Amino acid sequence: MLRTWRRSKGCKIPEDDARRFIRNAIAYYIFFEPRKGVVAHSAVSKLLAQDDMVNEWVGFVCSEVWPSACQTVPAMQKWPGSEEPEHSGVALNDPAGRGVWSILREDPQRARRFAEAMRMLQQRPGHDAKYLFSMLNWNEETTPGLLVDMGGSKGSIAMALLRNYPGLKCCVQDLPEVIQGTIKNADAYLLRMTLHDWSDKYAIQMLRQLVPALKHGAKVFVNEVVMPDVNALPFYHNQFLRGYDLSMKQQCNSKERNVEEWVELFARAEPRFQLNKVAIEPGSILSVVEFIWTSKGAEAV
């Protein structure tokens, strides 16, 4: 659809300002100007106008991520070394000082936008479940009988796993209140993008809550970012993961972890978590770090 610069009725933006903003957007492929003074949709502006998920993602970044990013360093100065979610850039930006989890609990509109933004993030090719399958590398013998997806949200990954492994049974548990009653004696537990929401203090608490449910030999699969060494990746990929890490700091006062930090986290929670495997797949944003629970002291299973 073509529009001339003429303002529509009720539009309070002066024409000159509108023209400057729109031409700035055009420089980023949002709209285009097929002839001087006439504006048309580009593929990008059309997507923004028509796709709710993309629209919510942009709204989330502009209204939530940027303002709280600006407050992250002031939050670090105010609460040096804090591991509390209420001591984040998000909290400093919130008039009531709430952390991200309180905001999402108390504000359904922002919770909806957050959920849509996360759904958008999951659509990135680097989050594709096919990478999880190849890193798990299960065959008929090694596929667990029962897997509990802890923090599995609405179950999209559990469904993908069920489709891919016909012998598998899956149960999804989410929210701290539910996790306190974790299903006991499953063969495997999956934590996908859940521990990265929490600082070490709280991630350790979550792992300790899991312990009473674990049988000897149970596997715990962590499907999360494993931060690479600083020069290990191409520039863009490295930039992306470093940004991811800092956005966890600003949103939740938490972090993305490297292999050593994952191993240390589990050892601090309980030395009976033994590292079994680290799988990293080119193209995948997430990796798999696999631990085995042994109830017989520190000996191998």
The question of whether 127 is a catalytic residue gets the answer no
Phi/psi for 5 (5° steps) reads: -70, -15
Q: Is 197 in the site for ligand SAM (CB under 6 A)?
A: yes
Q: Is 118 in the site for ligand SAM (CB under 6 A)?
A: yes
Nearer to ligand SAM, 94 or 197 (CB): 197
Nearer to ligand SAM, 44 or 104 (CB): 104
Among 176, 217, 243, 271, the residue binding ligand SAM under the rule CB under 6 A is: 176
* Contacting ligand SAM within 134-163 (CB under 6 A): 151-153, 156-157
Nearer to ligand SAM, 22 or 214 (CB): 214
Q: Is 179 in the site for ligand SAM (CB under 6 A)?
A: yes
| CB < 8 Å & 24+ apart, contacts of 262-269 | 262/222, 262/224, 262/226, 262/289, 263/289, 265/195, 265/200, 265/203, 265/204, 265/207, 266/207, 266/220, 266/291, 268/200, 268/204, 269/203, 269/204, 269/207, 269/208, 269/211
Q: Is 206 in the site for ligand SAM (CB under 6 A)?
A: yes
Q: With beta carbons less than 8 A apart as the criterion, state whether 207 and 237 touch.
A: no
Query: How is 60-79 classified by DSSP, letter by letter?
Result: HIIIIIHHHHHTHHHHHHHS
User: What distance in Å separates the CA atoms of residue 216 and residue 289, rounded to the nearest whole number?
Assistant: 18
Q: Which residue is catalytic, options 127, 196, 216, 237?
A: 196
Q: How far is the CB of 153 from ligand SAM (least distance, A)?
A: 4
Angle, vertex CA 124, rays to CA 120 and CA 127, nearest 5? 110
Q: With beta carbons less than 8 A apart as the criterion, state whether 244 and 197 touch.
A: no
Nearer to ligand SAM, 92 or 252 (CB): 252
User: What distance in Å separates the CA atoms of residue 84 and residue 242, rounded to the nearest whole number?
Assistant: 21
Q: How far is the CB of 196 from ligand SAM (least distance, A)?
A: 8
Q: How far is the CB of 151 from ligand SAM (least distance, A)?
A: 3
Q: Is 86 in the site for ligand SAM (CB under 6 A)?
A: no
Nearer to ligand SAM, 153 or 253 (CB): 153
- Positions that interact with ligand SAM (CB under 6 A): 118, 122, 151-153, 156-157, 174-176, 179, 192-194, 197, 206
Active site residues: 196
